[in-house]
Amino acid sequence: MDKKIKMRAEGVNFFYGRSQALKNVDILIHANQVTALIGPSGCGKSTFIRLFNRMNELVLDTSLSGNIYLDDLEINSAQIDPVHIRKRVGMVFQKPNPFPKSILDNISYGLRVNGVKDANFIEERVEASLKKAAIWDEVKNRLSDSALKLSGGQQQRLCIARCLAVDTEVILFDEPCASLDPISTAKIEELILELKKDYTIVIVTHNMQQAARVSDYTGFFLLGELIEFGKTQDIFTAPQDKRTEAYITGRFG
C-alpha cells in the first residue's frame, strides 16, 4: 500500500428508497493502477462505481452517507459542481453510447461545452485523444463520418477517447466489454493497460479472467458489502475469505 491513493471511499452507505444497496464500504483506489470490482449481479458494484462521479444522484429517491474523496477533495461537498467531478472522473459504459454526431464532434463535444473555442487546440486534442484510445489509424480519414457507423469495439474506443479529451484523471469502466467480441475485448484490455500509465482506472466486470488479466487490485462485492479487497494476484491465487473463493471458483450458490 505504498502507492499514491487517487480516490478513497470511507463508510459509504447507499440506499435506493429504503433498500440498502451498499453497506459501510471503505476502499482505496491507487493512482495509475487498475482496480477491478467483481461480484454477482445486484451486489452493488455498479452502484458503487457510479458514486465515484456522482452519477447516482441522477436517480430519484436515493440517499448516500459516508465520504468519497478524489485526491483530498470530498466530491459530495455542497459547493462542488458534479460536472466538474465528471470531467475529472470519466465513465465508459457497458453499451457504447456515442452521440449521434460525427466522430470529430463526439470527441470535441466535451471541450466545446466547457467553452473551448480554439479550433487548433480542439483539432490537436481530438487527434491526441483518438491516438491514446488506439483508434486514430482506423478513423483519421473519416472524422466527419457518423460515429454510429463504427463497429461496437470502435464505438467503445471512441467513448474512451471522448473521456480522454477533457483532461480526465480517473476512468470508470462499467462492464466495458460485455457487448464486444473477443478481438474487440482484447483491444480494450490492451488499451486499459496502456492508459493506466497516465490515468487511474476502476473497472466493474463480470468476467473474472478479465479482472485477473487487467487489474492490479481487486475488490469482491456481495450483497452490498465489500467482502475482500487486495492485490489481484493474492485474490486469484489465495483469497482469504471463503465467499470470495466460492465466487471466483464458480462454487457460488
Partner 1 sequence: MERHFDEELRSLHENILRMGILAQEAIFKSIEALKNRDKSQAQEIIGSDGRIDALELEIDEECVDLIARHQPVASDLRFVTTGMKINAELERIADLAVDISQRVLELADKPLLKPLIDIPKLSIIAQNMVRDAIEAFVKKDVELAKKVVLSDSEADKLRNLIQDELFDYIAKDCNAAPRAVALLLISRHLERICDHTTNIAEDVVYMVEGKVIKHHSGKI
Contact with partner 1 (CB under 8 A): which of 103, 212, 214, 227? 212
Q: Is residue 41 within the footprint of partner 1 (CB under 8 A)?
A: no
Min CB(249)–partner 1 separation in Å = 5
CA distance 252 to 229: 18
Contact with partner 1 (CB under 8 A): which of 209, 222, 227, 229? 209
List C-alpha distances in Å: 171 to 25, 63, 253.
20, 24, 32
CA distance 209 to 177: 12
Q: Is residue 94 within the footprint of partner 1 (CB under 8 A)?
A: no
Min CB(27)–partner 1 separation in Å = 21
CA distance 117 to 17: 43
Q: Enter the DSSP assignment of 205.
A: -
Q: Is residue 19 within the footprint of partner 1 (CB under 8 A)?
A: no
The H-or-E segment that residue 247 falls in is helix 242-248
Of 153 and 239, which has the nearer Cβ to partner 1? 239
Q: Is residue 18 within the footprint of partner 1 (CB under 8 A)?
A: no
Min CB(188)–partner 1 separation in Å = 19
- What string marks each residue from 220 to 239 as x (binds partner 1 by CB under 8 A) or -? ----------------xxxx
Contact with partner 1 (CB under 8 A): which of 18, 117, 197, 251? 251
Which of 28, 40, 51, 68 shows the shortest CA–CA distance to 230? 28
Cell triple for 144: 466527419
- Please check whether residue 183 is in contact with residue 190, taking contact to mean a CB–CB distance below 8 angstroms: no
Q: Is residue 205 within the footprint of partner 1 (CB under 8 A)?
A: no
Residues near partner 1 (CB under 8 A): 208-209, 212, 236-239, 244-245, 248-253
